[in-house]
Protein backbone atom coordinates (compact mmCIF):
# COMPACT_ATOMS: atom_id res chain seq x y z
CA UNK A 1 0.00 0.00 0.00
CA UNK A 2 1.32 3.35 -0.94
CA UNK A 3 1.63 6.19 1.50
CA UNK A 4 -1.05 8.06 -0.44
CA UNK A 5 -3.51 5.31 -0.01
CA UNK A 6 -2.55 4.97 3.65
CA UNK A 7 -3.21 8.69 4.27
CA UNK A 8 -6.65 8.48 2.58
CA UNK A 9 -7.60 5.47 4.65
CA UNK A 10 -6.54 7.20 7.90
CA UNK A 11 -8.48 10.33 6.92
CA UNK A 12 -11.69 8.33 6.28
CA UNK A 13 -11.23 6.47 9.54
CA UNK A 14 -11.04 9.82 11.33
CA UNK A 15 -14.14 11.04 9.54
CA UNK A 16 -16.01 7.88 10.47
CA UNK A 17 -14.84 8.24 14.07
CA UNK A 18 -16.00 11.87 14.10
CA UNK A 19 -19.38 10.87 12.68
CA UNK A 20 -19.71 8.09 15.25
CA UNK A 21 -18.90 10.54 18.10
CA UNK A 22 -21.45 13.03 16.77
CA UNK A 23 -24.00 10.20 16.46
CA UNK A 24 -23.27 9.20 20.06
CA UNK A 25 -23.63 12.82 21.24
CA UNK A 26 -26.93 13.20 19.33
CA UNK A 27 -28.23 10.00 20.85
CA UNK A 28 -27.26 11.28 24.31
CA UNK A 29 -29.13 14.52 23.64
CA UNK A 30 -32.19 12.67 22.36
CA UNK A 31 -32.23 10.53 25.48
CA UNK A 32 -31.95 13.61 27.69
CA UNK A 33 -34.75 15.35 25.82
CA UNK A 34 -36.85 12.22 26.10
CA UNK A 35 -36.21 12.11 29.85
CA UNK A 36 -37.12 15.77 30.20
CA UNK A 37 -40.35 15.34 28.22
CA UNK A 38 -41.39 12.32 30.25
CA UNK A 39 -40.82 14.28 33.42
CA UNK A 40 -42.89 17.17 32.00
CA UNK A 41 -45.67 14.78 31.05
CA UNK A 42 -45.76 13.45 34.60
CA UNK A 43 -45.75 16.98 35.92
CA UNK A 44 -48.65 18.02 33.68
CA UNK A 45 -50.58 14.88 34.54
CA UNK A 46 -50.17 15.73 38.27
CA UNK A 47 -51.31 19.30 37.69
CA UNK A 48 -54.33 18.09 35.76
CA UNK A 49 -55.31 15.75 38.59
CA UNK A 50 -54.89 18.61 41.15
CA UNK A 51 -57.15 20.80 39.08
CA UNK A 52 -59.90 18.15 39.14
CA UNK A 53 -59.78 17.96 42.96
CA UNK A 54 -59.94 21.74 43.28
CA UNK A 55 -62.93 21.91 40.96
CA UNK A 56 -64.68 19.12 42.88
CA UNK A 57 -63.96 20.86 46.18
CA UNK A 58 -65.20 24.18 44.89
CA UNK A 59 -68.43 22.52 43.78
CA UNK A 60 -68.76 20.83 47.17
CA UNK A 61 -68.16 24.16 48.88
CA UNK A 62 -70.80 25.84 46.77
CA UNK A 63 -73.33 23.12 47.67
CA UNK A 64 -72.43 23.37 51.35
CA UNK A 65 -72.75 27.15 51.32
CA UNK A 66 -76.17 26.81 49.69
CA UNK A 67 -77.19 24.25 52.35
CA UNK A 68 -75.93 26.51 55.15
CA UNK A 69 -77.96 29.37 53.70
CA UNK A 70 -80.98 27.09 53.51
CA UNK A 71 -80.48 25.94 57.13
CA UNK A 72 -79.99 29.53 58.30
CA UNK A 73 -83.30 30.41 56.71
CA UNK A 74 -84.93 27.37 58.28
CA UNK A 75 -83.46 28.36 61.66
CA UNK A 76 -84.79 31.91 61.25
CA UNK A 77 -88.21 30.52 60.33
CA UNK A 78 -88.18 28.18 63.36
CA UNK A 79 -87.11 31.01 65.67
CA UNK A 80 -89.85 33.23 64.23
CA UNK A 81 -92.38 30.44 64.76
CA UNK A 82 -91.15 29.90 68.35
CA UNK A 83 -91.54 33.62 69.04
CA UNK A 84 -95.02 33.50 67.52
CA UNK A 85 -95.95 30.45 69.63
CA UNK A 86 -94.57 32.13 72.74
CA UNK A 87 -96.69 35.19 72.03
CA UNK A 88 -99.70 32.94 71.38
CA UNK A 89 -99.00 31.07 74.63
CA UNK A 90 -98.88 34.33 76.54
CA UNK A 91 -102.13 35.39 74.91
CA UNK A 92 -103.72 32.05 75.80
CA UNK A 93 -102.44 32.28 79.38
CA UNK A 94 -103.86 35.80 79.72
CA UNK A 95 -107.11 34.69 78.14
CA UNK A 96 -107.21 31.66 80.44
CA UNK A 97 -106.84 33.87 83.49
CA UNK A 98 -109.56 36.19 82.18
CA UNK A 99 -111.91 33.29 81.48
CA UNK A 100 -111.12 31.78 84.87
CA UNK A 101 -111.98 35.11 86.48
CA UNK A 102 -115.17 35.44 84.44
CA UNK A 103 -116.07 31.87 85.35
CA UNK A 104 -115.53 32.64 89.04
CA UNK A 105 -117.61 35.79 88.77
CA UNK A 106 -120.39 33.94 87.00
CA UNK A 107 -120.30 31.24 89.67
CA UNK A 108 -120.47 33.91 92.37
CA UNK A 109 -123.31 35.63 90.60
CA UNK A 110 -125.14 32.33 90.12
CA UNK A 111 -124.89 31.48 93.82
CA UNK A 112 -125.79 35.00 94.89
CA UNK A 113 -128.87 35.07 92.65
CA UNK A 114 -129.78 31.53 93.70
CA UNK A 115 -129.65 32.60 97.34
CA UNK A 116 -131.56 35.81 96.65
CA UNK A 117 -134.40 33.89 95.02
CA UNK A 118 -134.37 31.07 97.55
CA UNK A 119 -136.70 32.85 99.94
CA UNK A 120 -139.78 35.06 99.92
CA UNK A 121 -139.14 36.37 103.39
CA UNK A 122 -138.48 40.10 103.08
CA UNK A 123 -136.06 40.29 106.05
CA UNK A 124 -134.19 37.24 104.83
CA UNK A 125 -133.84 38.76 101.37
CA UNK A 126 -132.37 41.91 102.92
CA UNK A 127 -129.99 39.78 105.00
CA UNK A 128 -128.79 37.94 101.88
CA UNK A 129 -128.32 41.25 100.03
CA UNK A 130 -126.25 42.50 102.98
CA UNK A 131 -124.08 39.36 102.98
CA UNK A 132 -123.51 39.64 99.25
CA UNK A 133 -122.52 43.30 99.43
CA UNK A 134 -120.03 42.58 102.24
CA UNK A 135 -118.57 39.33 100.97
CA UNK A 136 -118.70 39.68 97.21
CA UNK A 137 -118.46 43.40 96.66
CA UNK A 138 -116.34 44.19 99.70
CA UNK A 139 -118.29 47.06 101.24
CA UNK A 140 -118.06 47.90 104.94
CA UNK A 141 -120.62 50.72 105.30
CA UNK A 142 -123.71 50.70 103.12
CA UNK A 143 -127.49 50.75 103.08
CA UNK A 144 -130.41 49.49 101.05
CA UNK A 145 -133.04 52.19 100.47
CA UNK A 146 -136.48 51.48 99.06
CA UNK A 147 -138.84 53.86 97.35
CA UNK A 148 -142.24 54.43 98.88
CA UNK A 149 -144.24 55.12 95.74
CA UNK A 150 -147.09 56.71 97.71
CA UNK A 151 -144.91 59.37 99.34
CA UNK A 152 -142.15 59.55 96.72
CA UNK A 153 -139.47 59.17 99.39
CA UNK A 154 -136.59 56.71 99.59
CA UNK A 155 -136.01 55.25 103.05
CA UNK A 156 -133.35 52.87 104.38
CA UNK A 157 -134.57 49.36 105.18
CA UNK A 158 -131.21 47.71 105.87
CA UNK A 159 -127.79 49.06 106.74
CA UNK A 160 -124.35 47.81 107.71
CA UNK A 161 -121.78 49.90 109.56
CA UNK A 162 -124.31 52.77 109.94
CA UNK A 163 -127.34 53.02 112.19
CA UNK A 164 -130.59 53.04 110.22
CA UNK A 165 -131.71 56.14 112.13
CA UNK A 166 -128.72 58.06 110.79
CA UNK A 167 -129.98 57.73 107.26
CA UNK A 168 -132.44 60.44 106.28
CA UNK A 169 -135.31 59.91 103.89
CA UNK A 170 -134.59 61.25 100.43
CA UNK A 171 -137.15 62.65 98.03
CA UNK A 172 -137.17 61.11 94.55
CA UNK A 173 -135.24 63.33 92.14
CA UNK A 174 -133.48 65.29 94.89
CA UNK A 175 -129.76 65.15 95.66
CA UNK A 176 -127.47 62.44 94.36
CA UNK A 177 -129.49 59.52 95.75
CA UNK A 178 -132.82 60.92 94.58
CA UNK A 179 -131.41 61.67 91.14
CA UNK A 180 -130.00 58.15 90.73
CA UNK A 181 -133.35 56.69 91.78
CA UNK A 182 -135.02 58.96 89.27
CA UNK A 183 -132.66 58.39 86.30
CA UNK A 184 -131.85 54.74 86.96
CA UNK A 185 -128.15 55.28 86.16
CA UNK A 186 -125.32 53.79 88.27
CA UNK A 187 -123.07 56.22 90.13
CA UNK A 188 -119.47 55.54 91.17
CA UNK A 189 -117.23 58.17 92.79
CA UNK A 190 -114.24 58.84 90.54
CA UNK A 191 -111.75 58.55 93.39
CA UNK A 192 -112.97 56.00 95.95
CA UNK A 193 -109.79 56.38 98.03
CA UNK A 194 -110.25 60.14 98.32
CA UNK A 195 -113.97 59.89 99.11
CA UNK A 196 -115.14 61.56 102.33
CA UNK A 197 -118.29 60.08 103.84
CA UNK A 198 -121.43 62.09 103.24
CA UNK A 199 -124.70 60.25 103.89
CA UNK A 200 -126.48 62.22 101.18
CA UNK A 201 -123.71 61.77 98.66
CA UNK A 202 -122.48 58.15 98.72
CA UNK A 203 -119.38 56.70 97.11
CA UNK A 204 -121.54 54.32 95.08
CA UNK A 205 -125.25 54.48 94.32
CA UNK A 206 -126.82 51.63 92.35
CA UNK A 207 -130.49 51.68 91.46
CA UNK A 208 -132.54 48.57 92.21
CA UNK A 209 -134.40 48.19 88.93
CA UNK A 210 -136.95 45.82 87.50
CA UNK A 211 -136.64 46.59 83.80
CA UNK A 212 -136.81 50.41 83.87
CA UNK A 213 -138.80 50.65 87.08
CA UNK A 214 -136.65 51.74 90.03
CA UNK A 215 -137.81 50.34 93.38
CA UNK A 216 -134.87 51.60 95.45
CA UNK A 217 -131.10 52.02 95.62
CA UNK A 218 -128.04 50.49 97.21
CA UNK A 219 -125.75 53.17 98.63
CA UNK A 220 -122.17 52.45 99.66
CA UNK A 221 -120.17 54.77 101.92
CA UNK A 222 -117.06 52.75 102.71
CA UNK A 223 -115.20 49.78 101.25
CA UNK A 224 -113.33 47.15 103.25
CA UNK A 225 -109.78 48.16 104.21
CA UNK A 226 -108.27 45.74 101.68
CA UNK A 227 -110.58 46.86 98.87
CA UNK A 228 -109.13 50.19 97.82
CA UNK A 229 -110.84 50.67 94.48
CA UNK A 230 -113.25 49.07 92.05
CA UNK A 231 -112.17 46.40 89.62
CA UNK A 232 -113.72 46.54 86.12
CA UNK A 233 -115.78 43.46 86.96
CA UNK A 234 -117.33 45.25 89.98
CA UNK A 235 -119.34 47.56 87.76
CA UNK A 236 -120.97 44.59 86.00
CA UNK A 237 -121.37 42.65 89.22
CA UNK A 238 -123.06 45.60 90.91
CA UNK A 239 -125.58 45.99 88.11
CA UNK A 240 -126.35 42.29 87.82
CA UNK A 241 -126.68 41.81 91.56
CA UNK A 242 -128.82 44.91 91.87
CA UNK A 243 -131.15 43.47 89.23
CA UNK A 244 -131.50 40.19 91.12
CA UNK A 245 -131.82 42.00 94.44
CA UNK A 246 -134.58 44.19 93.02
CA UNK A 247 -136.68 41.25 91.83
CA UNK A 248 -136.06 39.36 95.07
CA UNK A 249 -137.16 42.37 97.16
CA UNK A 250 -140.15 43.00 94.91
CA UNK A 251 -141.26 39.34 95.06
CA UNK A 252 -140.84 39.22 98.84
CA UNK A 253 -142.84 42.42 99.26
CA UNK A 254 -145.65 41.18 97.02
CA UNK A 255 -145.66 37.88 98.87
CA UNK A 256 -145.75 39.63 102.25
CA UNK A 257 -148.63 41.86 101.02
CA UNK A 258 -150.57 38.90 99.67
CA UNK A 259 -150.00 37.00 102.92
CA UNK A 260 -151.26 39.99 104.86
CA UNK A 261 -154.31 40.34 102.62
CA UNK A 262 -154.96 36.62 102.82
CA UNK A 263 -154.74 36.79 106.58
CA UNK A 264 -157.16 39.76 106.65
CA UNK A 265 -159.59 38.02 104.32
CA UNK A 266 -159.35 34.87 106.37
CA UNK A 267 -160.20 36.97 109.43
CA UNK A 268 -163.27 38.39 107.69
CA UNK A 269 -164.37 34.96 106.52
CA UNK A 270 -163.93 33.63 110.01
CA UNK A 271 -166.04 36.51 111.37
CA UNK A 272 -168.76 35.98 108.76
CA UNK A 273 -168.90 32.24 109.19
CA UNK A 274 -168.74 32.22 112.98
Partner 1 sequence: MADKRILIVEDSPTMRQLIAYSLKRLSGVSIVEAGDGVEALKKMATETVDLILTDINMPIMDGLKLVSLVRGDARLRNIPIAIITTEGAAEDRERALALGANDYIVKPIQSGRVLAVARELLGIS
- 111 binds partner 1, rule: CB under 8 A: yes
Task: State yes or no: residue 235 binds partner 1 (CB under 8 A).
Answer: no
Single out the residue of 126, 137, 170, 208 in contact with partner 1 (rule: CB under 8 A).
137
List the interface residues with partner 1, window 5-64 (CB under 8 A). Answer: none
Instruction: Give least dist CB 221 to partner 1, A.
Output: 15
Binding residue for partner 1, selected from 72, 77, 100, 148, defined by CB under 8 A: 100
Q: Indicate whether 226 belongs to the interface with partner 1 (CB under 8 A).
A: yes
One residue of 45, 72, 98, 101 binding partner 1 per CB under 8 A: 101
Number of residues that bind partner 1 (CB under 8 A): 22
CB of 204 to partner 1, least distance (A): 14
Does the protein bind partner 1 through residue 115 (CB under 8 A)? yes
CA distance linking residue 26 with residue 31, whole number of Å = 9
Residue 186 engages partner 1 in binding (rule: CB under 8 A): no
Return residues touching partner 1 (CB under 8 A): 100-101, 104, 107-108, 111-112, 114-115, 128, 131-132, 134-138, 140, 224-227
Amino acid sequence: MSSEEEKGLTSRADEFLQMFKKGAEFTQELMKENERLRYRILQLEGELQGNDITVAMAEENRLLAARIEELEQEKEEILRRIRQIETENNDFATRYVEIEEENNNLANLYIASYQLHSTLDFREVLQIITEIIINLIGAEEFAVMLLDEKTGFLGAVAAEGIALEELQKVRLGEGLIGTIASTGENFFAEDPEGYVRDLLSPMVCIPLKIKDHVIGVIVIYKLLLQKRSFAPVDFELFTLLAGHAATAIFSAKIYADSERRLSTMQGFINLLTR
